Structure formats: structure tokens, C-alpha cells
Chain A
Amino acid sequence: MNDYAELHCHSNFSLLDGASHPEDLVARAAEVEMPALALTDHNGLYGVVPFYKAARQAGVKPVIGAEITTDKGYHLTVLAQSNRGYSSLSSLISRAQLTQSKGNPSVDLATIARYSADIICLSGCRKGEIPSLIQGGDKEKAEAVARSYIEIFGRDNFLIELQNNLYQGDRRLCGELVQIANRLGISYVATNNVHYAREDGHRLQDILVCIANRTTLDKSGRFRRHNSEFYLKSAAEMSPLFKEYPKAIENALSIADRCNVSLDFSSYRFPEFPVPEDETHASYLAKLCREKAKERYGEISDEVRSQLRYELDLIEKLGLSGYFLIAWDIMDYARRNGIPAQGRGSAANSIVAYILGISRVDPISHRLFVGRFLNEEMSALPDIDIDVSTNHREKLIQYVYKKYGEEHTAMVCTYVTFQARNAIREVGKAIGMPADVIDQMAKTVGAYSAKGIQEDLGGLEKFRDYVGSVPWQHFVSLCREIGDFPRHLSIHVGGMIVSSCPLSEIVPLEKATMPGRVVCQWDKGAIEDAGLVKVDILGLRMLSLVDEVVSLVRKNHDLEFELAKVPQDDQQVYDMICRADTLGVFQVESRAQMQTLPRTMPRSIEDLTVEVAIIRPGPLQGNMVHPYIRRRQGKEKVTYPHPILKPILEETLGVILFQEQVLRAAIAVAGFTSGEADSLRRAMSHKRSVRAMEDLRERFLAGARTNGVEEEVAERVFDTLKGFAEYGFCKSHAAGFALLAYESAWLKCHYPAEFYAALLNNQPMGFYSPEVIVGDARRHGITVLPVDINLSQGKCIVENGMVRLGFCYVKDMGEEAIASLEKARSETPFSSLADFYRRAKVCREAVDSLILAGAIDSFGERRRLLWDIGILEHTSRDALLFECPGYQVPLPNMTDWEKLAAEYSVQGLSAGVHPMKLMRDSLPGDGVLKNSAVLAVSSGTKVSVAGYVVCRQAPRTAKGHVFLTMEDETGLVNVILKPEVYQRFRYPVRTEPLILVEGIFQKRNGISNIVAQHISPLERNGGSHDPVPKARNFC
């Protein structure tokens, strides 16, 4: 029997059509000993990189191709014969995507001809033009079409594609196609139009088709495939289907043998950065550094000089001088144009990055380690990531587009994948489950991953009746299978690639949903694997916030100051941080941070660097945080695994917290080079095979022996490193963030009104909703004033030391409405509702929203105003030059509760009282304490509190515990639910906004919590018309 190679195969990157990951297809190919496999997704090369990697590893030859759509809507299979053919293919797909509307790629014959070099073309599946014409009875035209493709590709590179998926009519169609091939003297080849790796994949493929067509299994007959024959078949399974045409099977392998593409972009370099004629990249970089080092350091110490020389030599040796110049240029543009930006990540370990202004962190004074970022053995390009103020990000992106050209620049894509909630909704709908059941499951599921649905929901009382039934079994198994499947393509938050050659020759480009944006078809992982240069330009709202606070301070206090120059040892600021008064402060405002700060008591930027690093899943899982905290509090002795590690670990009290420390330890103990040490760190953190770890261990111990370190000690150190390497955090990244955290704290401490105004203007960001921020402002003595049509602006402003809410918070007040209002008001302030309505020219809905928000309270009672606007609306605006007396109907005034509800309904918050203040007297039972009163009781006391849930968290590291933050009129309180309590009260905890919690108050080391024993939802006053703050859910 002949070998067979499948040349027409769709992965799940044929979105909502292919039902297997590329890796699963390769695994199946290897199982059936298929020598080669093609990937031919629809109009794209999305999955090519993982496919190629998996195929090479499995010993299956990868063939790169695609199924493209012609301008008449027919399908055509195209395969790259060589790297040149790959470029043709990528360019062809880019044309198909960029010249048509988004989601409807297609190409005409002329374009196909233009990009046909080194392409092998197959006539396509049943939806190909030639088979379609034959099935329509027009054999003559089918043959003419075949001739036109022969003209383009040549007799050797155009083949008739035969498929026999055991559809009625397949055999006859194959016969007709073979006749055409014979008449035209061209070959024919068998394919199976594969859409899933194994036969049982047809179920998931049916579900995907239903999702794509927004229908259910029962109603989708005309969309779904008739049988389950579209799986990756072995040679033994394919041969009988083509027993009349054995050559079709042989030719598949012959074609595969002719296709040889290597996805190797090592010869590709990033764009040439223009330097003066008499300079090279290296010499220009060195010159820039020498000039700017004086600006940074003033006096250049020996240490600075030596480190700089070392890095410049290393950068030149690695051929990265141009790369640094590109990054410097982007940051320099940002600086010259007042765009707040700072480098992030491991790049801050580099003194060159610091001197050039790419990073803000001095690696000398922070004792960082460049080996974490750059070393002789590195095989991949380093990452230079830039955080930029969200408000300015687009400007910086456009600069990169303009500088390098649109042909050479594109955004990196990312895939929105199926996870628990969307899997439940979409699979459930396709199966035909009742909508209310789907809704309940989606709201109740705690697992993030779709693979955890069965365990998560199966144990709940609510769904017990379904478990075990056949539909349920189908449902959970399909959810499990669809987990992590790409659902649709989106733009990565900040990744951009730049190239020296036109980008479309390397990776296909397509339109993003955002107008004017072009995105490449590879995500971050694929870009890195392919060795392309990526710059991450990430929007960071905190940079926008800080920039805005500084502007407001300058304006309101007539003060010039540079935030970067404020003293970094202001103890008033650290006092605020240590008492966890950090709502709104960068990186240290989360519940977990607030629970840690009173224990770790950071008092310097170095301390803040540790603080930023430790409250992460990694360090928490790696059991690094608690030993550090205990040592910080003096409750545990500071020890070191070995004295040789003391200089490396003393800054973190003997605990390994930073990746840089792992590298330094490997160097100090085992004499590794920086490159070897970084390889060790990466190997340890990526859970390599037992064999690989054994090799590393041997090398480490051998190095330690050479260094005179005893074997027992070396083994202990190695095990310690192994335990922490996976979880350590990058210190330079933490240091950069710590600086910004301090600055934001300094601004909150010294200019709170401006801080809160800017915080409200830069939402959504941070851990808390605007409603909670307003409460925090009030508790800090900052009055928050309601929106007012004569006093507010679009954004929140500071007015005599108070914060005036902006129109941006009012529903239906978009930019146009705000501009219209402000223009009218600039002529003269509004004098009445009628005057406002006539001149501001905002729509009725906006006027209603402003009335409900209290923005027009100065002109009357709200209910009266709502009544009046109803009358005014029926009068022409010009007629309103004269006041209309209107109907005077007696109307009751809105109660305080109604006003509050009105404000929440259109703003999501109120500048007035907290709803709990008005509810306090009607709470059930006695003894429900205010949150502020709870904090004063003794630890161990049973308490009851009531309030709104403003935050829900279920961190992965918390072993099933769930954390709530509740708010009342006096402040916030933290509630902990042990796993068994959470399971008992899961539905109300997850869905009810207002709850009563009974539990035990606990106070330890300055941290207060209520350990819940019972949760009950509270009746609200008006049902759906009540003020309900929107919670932040992290679970």
C-alpha cells in the first residue's frame, strides 16, 4: 500500500469550522505514520507557526498552505512549494484580506496570477469552481476554468483535487474530474477536506457550525456535514476510497515531497535605523550613551563606566545596536512630545536602557542584573516593552507606522478563546439547552477554564437533576473539548512588529475591526517563535492619571514641578502606604496588597519594589511571601542557604524573590556565565523533562565543585533555586512599577482633590469602581459635588478644593452632547430648564439623564423638571424664547431614596449619601453593625454587617477561598468565605449586590477580616429601581 499525505486540512484556526488544534492534527498524523501533512486554513496562516513546530518535533513534514476564496465565492487550495512560494502565499492572503471588507476576504484571478510564483494549486473541495460547475451540469465551462488555472500555474503546478467523503455523488464527481484531468493532460490528487483529527471530532465540528450560523443542532441540517468522514485518515483508510484512481493517492505524497518551506527568519533583520554617514549603529549608540550618561549620573563613577562599556560591547557583539536605537527613538519621540512613557520589564536591568531614557530605573543603585536581559548565549531577541499613557498611545503607534511605513509595520493579533462562560453559553445554545439554565450556569460557574466545568457545576445542588443525563454528558464533554479554541481574532494590547522587508511577505496582514488598523495573523507566541522583532507599546492608565494630576496641580496651585524630582523618602507618604490607605495607588491598592502592607511596612523604593513583586500568584504559590513577611516583622530569623548567597539575598532577608537573584546565585555558586544562568532559570521555570533537569543539576554541581563549594551545600542551593525559579518575579520590572507606585501615592497624599478628579477621569482602571472611589474621597475629607449644567465640564475637575463630577459620568452625554452644551454655555450661563433645552441642543434622553443625575437641581425639583421637559419637548425650540407656563400639575417631590436611585441609574454613583445610610434603619434584626464600628470590636466576636458587594475575588492561589469587599456608608470591610461556606451560598454571593453577612471578626497584625458563616440577600426598597453600585468581579 502507498503512503499518503493529507494536503487539505483545517485546524481550529479556520475559526468556527476546524475542530482540532494544529498540534492534535500533527499528533494524529504521527499516529498513522503519515510522512507529511499540510495545513490549509481559510484565507490565513494563523496556525502555521505552532503547526510547523509541532510537525518538526513529531517527524512529520509540514506543508504550508491555505484555502483561499475567489471573488466568485469559490474555494481554491494553494500550497507553498518553497520559501519563495511562502512569500507568494502570504502576500496573496494579505491581498485577499486587505482589499475586501473585514471578514470577507477574496481574490480575483489577476491577483492569484500576480502571486503565483512557486505555488502549487489544487482545484478545491466541493465548493471549488470546477466541481461546482460540473455539479451544475456545465462541464465545458469547468474545463475552461481548469485551463485558465493551468495558464497561471503551469501544467506541473495545477492539479485536479478529488475528494470522496462518502457523500452521495462523490464517486460520479470524481469520475468527471478525472476525465477533465486526463483531457487536459494534468494530474489529479486525493484529499479528504479534513476538519478534525479523529472521527469523533465531528460532534465538535457540528457545534462550531451551529455557533457560526447562530443556530441549534436540530435546526442546522443544511449547514452541517452529512457524516463523520472528514477526519485525518490513514493511507489504509484513503486507498479503498480511491481504488479506481490509485494515482490520486500516490500524487498526494509526490506533491508533499515537492513542498519545502522553512519558517526561518534568521536572515531577516529589523529595519535599518538611520545614523549619520560616518557612524555605524554601534558607534552612534556609544556616542549617544556617552553624552546622555552625564545627564543621568552627573559624575560618572568607575562602576557606571565599567558597566556601560560591558553592555555596549555585548550589544555590539549580539548585533543589537540597531534595536536599541529603535527603542531609544520611540522613547525620545515620546519625551519630545510630552507623552508620558517608561520602559518596563527586564530591559530596566540595562544601564544603556537607563541612560538612553528607555527605562527609569537606575540599575546601579537598584542593584539589578543585566544578565537577566542580555547575555552572550541568548538565542532570542530581548523584549523592549514600553508603557505609555493610554491617552497618548495612539499617537505613539502612529509615529511607528509613519517612521517605518505601513508596509513594514503591523499590530500583533491575539485570540479570544473559549473559556468557561462563553463555552457554556455558546455550546449550551447550540445543543438547545433552555436559555434560563444556560444563564444560571454561566453566572454560577467559578472555573475560568472550560475544562473545569464538569467538576465545578456537577457538584452543585442546582444542577443535580441534569448530571448523568445524556445531554449533560454531551454538554460537558463538548465544553471541555472547545476550551482554549480560538473564537475570534483581536488586536494585542500593545504588540507591534516592524520589518525590513514588506511584512506581508512574512506573515499575512488583515484589517482590524478598528478603522485604519492593520493586524498580522500571528499572535505574540508565534511572533517570538518566528524570531520577529516586536515592540510592545502598552497603554497604562496610571501614566495618564499621573500626567493629569500634575497638570491639574500646576493649574490649580500655580505650581511648576517635575514629578520625577519629588523626594523619594517622604515619610508621610510611606505612613499612608503602611496603613494601607492606598485606594487608587498604583500596584498596591488591591485587597491582597492592603492586607499585606501593614505587615511588610515598606519605607523605601526598595521596599516598594519587593511589595510590588510579592503579591502575585507566583511568589504566593512558591511560599516565598510568608517567610519574607515573618522575617520583615522580626518573627523569624534571617538565614541564608549558604554564606555565599548573603550579598545576593540580604536585600530580601534571605528569601529568593527575584529572578535576578536566581541568576546571580547560579553564577556565584556554580560559576555559570550569565547566559548559562539565564538558561538555568528558564529551564527551571518551564518544567522541563526530568532528564533535562538532571543534566542541569549535574552541570550545577560540577561547577560548584570547581568553585570549592561542598556537594551537600550545592545540592541544597540547587533545590532552593529550583523551588523558587518558577515563581520568582523580575526585579527590574517591579522597580519600574515601584517608582510609579510611589509617585501616585505622593500625589494622593499631597494633592488629594486633584488625585481623585484624575482617578475618576481615567476609568476604567485599578481595583475599585468609581462609586467606591467617590466614597474614599469623601472619607478623606474631599467633597464630591454633583454634576451641574452650569459648573461641570466634560471631565471631572477640581473646584475650590472639591471634586466636581463631569458630564462624562452621565448616561447619554457623549462627546458631541458635551461639546454642544459647553459651546452654548460659553455664550452665557443657562438660566432655566427651557433656556438649557433651547440652547444646549442635546437630545431628550440626555436631558432626562441630566435631570435624574441632579445636574439641573438648581432650576427645580427633579420630578417637576421631568414633567416640564415632557412639555417642552413638544414645543419648538424657537418658541421657547418665551417661557411657557405649562401645565401645573401637583407632583410629589422625589424622596431621598428615589433621588439616589435616579443618580445611580444614570451615573452608577452619587455625589450625595451612600444608599446604606438610607437603608440602615430598615435592616432586619438587631445588631447589624456599620463597617467602621466592626473594626473596633475585639477579634473573635460574632458580628453582622450589611452592605453592597463592590468586589469579588477568587484567586487561584487561595485554594477555594473567596474574598468579598463590602461597602456601606462608613467604608469598606473585607469578608472571607471558606470553600464550604462559598459552596453553600454560592449563588447569592455571585449574583446578589446587597447582602447581610454573619460571621466572626478577625484581627491579626493590623489586618481585619470577617470570616463569613452565613450570607443572605437583602430585600431592596424598590426592586429594579434601586441604587446598585456595579461590583468588580475577579472570579
Chain B
Amino acid sequence: MVAKLGKLQEVTVTPNSKGMPLSLVYKGQRRKIASVHEHWRIADGWWGDEVRRDYFRIEISHGPVFDIYRDRISDRWYLTKGGR
């Protein structure tokens, strides 16, 4: 159910009041997120190892597109190197 992930890297993200990412710290610099191409949600494993995540495919200004997710249980953000 949970997509195969590459290595996880925690990342600092600033979201808006609705939980949508506005900016993140990328290569030591705070970068504005130009666009959120996609948002999807996974909620699974409630009977044991619960997983609740919001995924975002983001594009930073003048930068690459990649996937990040917010762990809704720990409220931490991670970069997945599986993104483009």
C-alpha cells in the first residue's frame, strides 16, 4: 500500500494554515515552493503500524520537482529521493 520509498531525509517545511507547503529548506537555503503539482494522502495500517501521510509533488522556484511528505502522526516532513 505504501509506495516503495527511497532513503528518507527529514526536511524543514513551512506550511500554510491548511497544511499546504509554502517553502522548504533545500541545500541549506530556504526556497519558496512555486507550485504544488499534486497532493495525495495515505492512511493505512490502523490496526498495527499506522501510517498517515500527506504527499506533495512540489516545484521550487527555478529548481527541480520532487516529492515530499508530511507524517501526520509525528508532524515531521521528509523528502523522498524517489521524486523527480
- A interface vs B, CB < 8 Å? 166-172, 202-203, 206, 217-218, 221, 224, 226-229, 240, 431, 471, 474
Contact of A168 with B40 in the complex, beta carbons under 8 Å:
yes
| Contact pick for B42, options A169, A217, A226, CB 8 Å | A226
- Shortest CB-to-CB span from B66 to chain A, Å, is 14
- Shortest CB-to-CB span from A932 to chain B, Å, is 56
- Shortest CB-to-CB span from A470 to chain B, Å, is 8
Contact of B40 with A240 in the complex, beta carbons under 8 Å:
no
| Contact pick for B40, options A167, A202, A224, A431, CB 8 Å | A167
B44 contacts the other chain (Cβ, under 8 Å)?
A: yes
Complex Cα–Cα for A167 and B55 (A): 10
Chain B residues positioned under 8 Å from A169 (CB to CB): 38, 40
| Contact pick for A202, options B38, B43, B48, CB 8 Å | B43
The 8 A CB mask of B55-73 against A (1 = contact, 0 = none) is: 1000000000000000000
Complex Cα–Cα for A206 and B1 (A): 13
| Contact pick for A474, options B3, B47, B55, CB 8 Å | B47
A-B contacts besides A168-B3, A170-B40, 14 pairs, CB < 8 Å:
A172-B38, A203-B46, A206-B46, A221-B1, A224-B1, A224-B44, A226-B1, A226-B42, A226-B44, A227-B43, A227-B44, A471-B47, A474-B46, A474-B47
B41 contacts the other chain (Cβ, under 8 Å)?
A: yes
Chain A residues positioned under 8 Å from B38 (CB to CB): 168-169, 171-172
Complex Cα–Cα for A168 and B82 (A): 14
Taking CB as reference atom, which chain B residue is nearest A199?
A: B43
| Contact pick for B39, options A166, A228, A431, A471, CB 8 Å | A166
Complex Cα–Cα for A172 and B40 (A): 12
- Shortest CB-to-CB span from B26 to chain A, Å, is 22
B: contact size bracket: 10 to 19
Complex Cα–Cα for A224 and B3 (A): 14
- Shortest CB-to-CB span from A762 to chain B, Å, is 48
Complex Cα–Cα for A166 and B57 (A): 12
Chain A residues positioned under 8 Å from B48 (CB to CB): 218
Contact of A168 with B55 in the complex, beta carbons under 8 Å:
yes
Contact of A228 with B43 in the complex, beta carbons under 8 Å:
yes
Contact of B18 with A240 in the complex, beta carbons under 8 Å:
yes
Complex Cα–Cα for A169 and B48 (A): 27
Contact of A166 with B40 in the complex, beta carbons under 8 Å:
yes
Contact of A166 with B46 in the complex, beta carbons under 8 Å:
no
Contact of A227 with B46 in the complex, beta carbons under 8 Å:
no
Contact of B39 with A171 in the complex, beta carbons under 8 Å:
yes
- Shortest CB-to-CB span from A366 to chain B, Å, is 60
- Shortest CB-to-CB span from B82 to chain A, Å, is 12
Complex Cα–Cα for A226 and B46 (A): 12
Chain B residues positioned under 8 Å from A228 (CB to CB): 43
The 8 A CB mask of B17-51 against A (1 = contact, 0 = none) is: 01000000000000000000111111110111000
In this complex, the member of B3, B39, B55 whose beta carbon has the largest number of chain A beta carbons within 10 angstroms is B39
- Shortest CB-to-CB span from B15 to chain A, Å, is 14
Complex Cα–Cα for A221 and B37 (A): 26
Taking CB as reference atom, which chain B residue is nearest A221?
A: B1
5 contacts between A and B (CB under 8 A): A168-B38, A202-B46, A203-B46, A203-B47, A218-B48
Taking CB as reference atom, which chain B residue is nearest A474?
A: B47
Complex Cα–Cα for A998 and B53 (A): 61
In this complex, the member of B1, B40, B42, B43 whose beta carbon has the largest number of chain A beta carbons within 10 angstroms is B40
Taking CB as reference atom, which chain B residue is nearest A216?
A: B47
- Shortest CB-to-CB span from B72 to chain A, Å, is 11
Complex Cα–Cα for A172 and B38 (A): 8
Chain B residues positioned under 8 Å from A471 (CB to CB): 47
A-B pairs with lowest CB-CB distance, top 8: A166-B41, A168-B40, A227-B43, A221-B1, A228-B43, A227-B41, A166-B40, A171-B38
Complex Cα–Cα for A166 and B19 (A): 14
- Shortest CB-to-CB span from A245 to chain B, Å, is 15
Complex Cα–Cα for A471 and B46 (A): 10
- Shortest CB-to-CB span from B2 to chain A, Å, is 9
- Shortest CB-to-CB span from B6 to chain A, Å, is 16
Contact of B47 with A227 in the complex, beta carbons under 8 Å:
no
Chain B residues positioned under 8 Å from A168 (CB to CB): 3, 38, 40, 55
Complex Cα–Cα for A474 and B45 (A): 12
- Shortest CB-to-CB span from B37 to chain A, Å, is 8
Complex Cα–Cα for A166 and B3 (A): 15
Complex Cα–Cα for A474 and B46 (A): 9
Complex Cα–Cα for A169 and B40 (A): 8
Complex Cα–Cα for A227 and B39 (A): 13
Complex Cα–Cα for A168 and B55 (A): 9
- Shortest CB-to-CB span from B49 to chain A, Å, is 10
- Shortest CB-to-CB span from B67 to chain A, Å, is 10
Known: A471-B47, A474-B47. A229 touches B41 (CB 8 A): yes
Taking CB as reference atom, which chain B residue is nearest A203?
A: B46
Known: A221-B1, A431-B47, A471-B47. A227 touches B18 (CB 8 A): no
Complex Cα–Cα for A206 and B48 (A): 14
Complex Cα–Cα for A202 and B41 (A): 14
Taking CB as reference atom, which chain B residue is nearest A200?
A: B46
Complex Cα–Cα for A202 and B46 (A): 10
- Shortest CB-to-CB span from B16 to chain A, Å, is 12
Chain A residues positioned under 8 Å from B18 (CB to CB): 240
Taking CB as reference atom, which chain B residue is nearest A475?
A: B47
Chain B residues positioned under 8 Å from A221 (CB to CB): 1
Chain B residues positioned under 8 Å from A166 (CB to CB): 39-41
- Shortest CB-to-CB span from A332 to chain B, Å, is 61
Complex Cα–Cα for A908 and B44 (A): 50
- Shortest CB-to-CB span from B32 to chain A, Å, is 20
Complex Cα–Cα for A224 and B2 (A): 12
- Shortest CB-to-CB span from A745 to chain B, Å, is 57
Complex Cα–Cα for A228 and B52 (A): 10
Taking CB as reference atom, which chain A residue is nearest B54?
A: A166
Chain B residues positioned under 8 Å from A203 (CB to CB): 46-47
- Shortest CB-to-CB span from B81 to chain A, Å, is 17
- Shortest CB-to-CB span from A2 to chain B, Å, is 19
- Shortest CB-to-CB span from B53 to chain A, Å, is 9
- Shortest CB-to-CB span from B50 to chain A, Å, is 10
Complex Cα–Cα for A169 and B55 (A): 12
Complex Cα–Cα for A228 and B41 (A): 9
Complex Cα–Cα for A294 and B23 (A): 97
- Shortest CB-to-CB span from A986 to chain B, Å, is 29
In this complex, the member of A171, A431, A471 whose beta carbon has the largest number of chain B beta carbons within 10 angstroms is A171
Contact of A217 with B47 in the complex, beta carbons under 8 Å:
yes
Chain A residues positioned under 8 Å from B39 (CB to CB): 166, 171
Chain B residues positioned under 8 Å from A170 (CB to CB): 40
Chain B residues positioned under 8 Å from A171 (CB to CB): 37-39
Complex Cα–Cα for A287 and B39 (A): 77
Taking CB as reference atom, which chain B residue is nearest A202?
A: B43
Taking CB as reference atom, which chain A residue is nearest B55?
A: A168
Complex Cα–Cα for A226 and B42 (A): 6
Complex Cα–Cα for A229 and B72 (A): 15
Complex Cα–Cα for A582 and B17 (A): 77
Complex Cα–Cα for A206 and B41 (A): 16
Complex Cα–Cα for A167 and B46 (A): 18
Complex Cα–Cα for A908 and B1 (A): 51
- Shortest CB-to-CB span from B21 to chain A, Å, is 15
Chain B residues positioned under 8 Å from A202 (CB to CB): 43, 46
Chain B residues positioned under 8 Å from A240 (CB to CB): 18
Taking CB as reference atom, which chain A residue is nearest B46?
A: A203
Complex Cα–Cα for A381 and B42 (A): 52
- Shortest CB-to-CB span from A174 to chain B, Å, is 11
